[in-house]
């Protein structure tokens, strides 16, 4: 995934209303609108996880809306607003339906977000983790399907890994690491039975 700076915008509201017309996704980082260009493999995996979640919502009759087209307002440690665009977002359906004419953007925390890790892996493991934790998102998946992150996170040898970060009562994430045949344990989708390799071998 690459990022290209386009223009400077002072507020989240202006970011939402002044997105460029070019194809692609956009985040608002440090006051700049940044165009996101995912690879095909990245996009395929995001769509696959979206479909898995949608199937589970239907199967377990859960009150969630699942989408890959939602922008979320977050804040940095210094209080600077950001506009993040997770690869997958799971939102309480009541929250999503409360204002049907609003833009596809959230200031309230969704239930779950997923980020696919690419070469700029520190964004997902450090910056976004801190922002999502601060916002109070209950569950955050970091999908390192290319095993590009440092060994301090992945271990040695490095293997494709999915981290599921669960928000604890003290407001910090408990980070659980899953590889290979490990079954993913998700509080949001408690009945979901799937392993890391079952997801990653489909791309």
Confidence of residue 192 (pLDDT cuts 50, 70, 90): very high
The CA distances from residue 134 to 73, 75, 79, 137, in Å, are: 11, 7, 10, 8
Radius of gyration of the chain (CA): 16
Q: What's the pLDDT tens digit per position in 105-160?
A: 899 999 999 999 987 788 899 999 999 999 999 999 999 999 989 898 899 999 99
CATH 3.90.1570.10 at 39-200, yes or no: yes
Q: What is the pTM of this model?
A: 0.90
- Written as six digits, the tokens of 3 are 């990022």
Does residue 175 have a pLDDT over 60?
yes
Sheet strands (E) in 103-185: 105-106, 112-116, 139-144, 161-167, 173-179
* Residues of the chain above pLDDT 90, percent: 69
Instruction: Give the three-class secondary structure for 88.
Output: strand
Nearest to 131 by CA among 157, 151, 109, 162: 109
Q: Which two tokens stand for residue 60?
A: 């377990």
pLDDT of residue 25: 82
Domain coordinates of the chain in residue numbers?
39-200
Cα separation, 128 vs 122, in Å, equals 9
Could you give the CA distance from residue 164 to residue 178 in angstroms, rounded to a whole number?
8
Of 14-28, 50-64, 73-87, which range is least confident? 14-28
Task: Provide the pLDDT confidence category of residue 11 given band limits of 50, 70 and 90.
Answer: confident
**What is the model's pLDDT at position 2?**
45
């Amino acid at each position: 995934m690459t990022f290209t700076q386009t223009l400077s915008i002072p507020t989240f509201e202006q970011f939402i209303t002044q997105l460029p017309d070019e194809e692609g996704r956009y985040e608002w980082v440090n006051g700049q609108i940044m165009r996101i260009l995912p690879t095909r493999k990245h996009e395929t995996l995001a769509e696959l996880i979206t479909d898995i979640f949608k199937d589970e919502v239907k199967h377990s009759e859960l009150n969630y809306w699942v989408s890959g087209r939602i922008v979320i307002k977050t804040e940095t440690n210094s209080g600077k607003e950001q506009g993040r665009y997770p690869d997958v977002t799971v939102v309480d359906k009541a929250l999503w339906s409360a204002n049907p004419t609003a833009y596809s953007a959230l200031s309230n925390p969704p239930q779950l977000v997923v980020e696919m890790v690419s070469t700029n892996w520190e964004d997902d493991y450090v910056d976004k983790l801190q922002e999502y934790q601060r916002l109070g998102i209950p569950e955050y998946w970091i999908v390192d399907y290319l095993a590009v992150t440092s060994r301090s996170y992945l271990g040695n040898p490095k293997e494709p890994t999915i981290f599921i970060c669960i928000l604890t009562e003290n407001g910090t994430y408990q980070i659980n690491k899953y590889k290979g045949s490990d079954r993913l344990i998700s509080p949001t989708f408690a009945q979901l039975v799937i392993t890391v390799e079952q997801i990653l071998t489909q791309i």
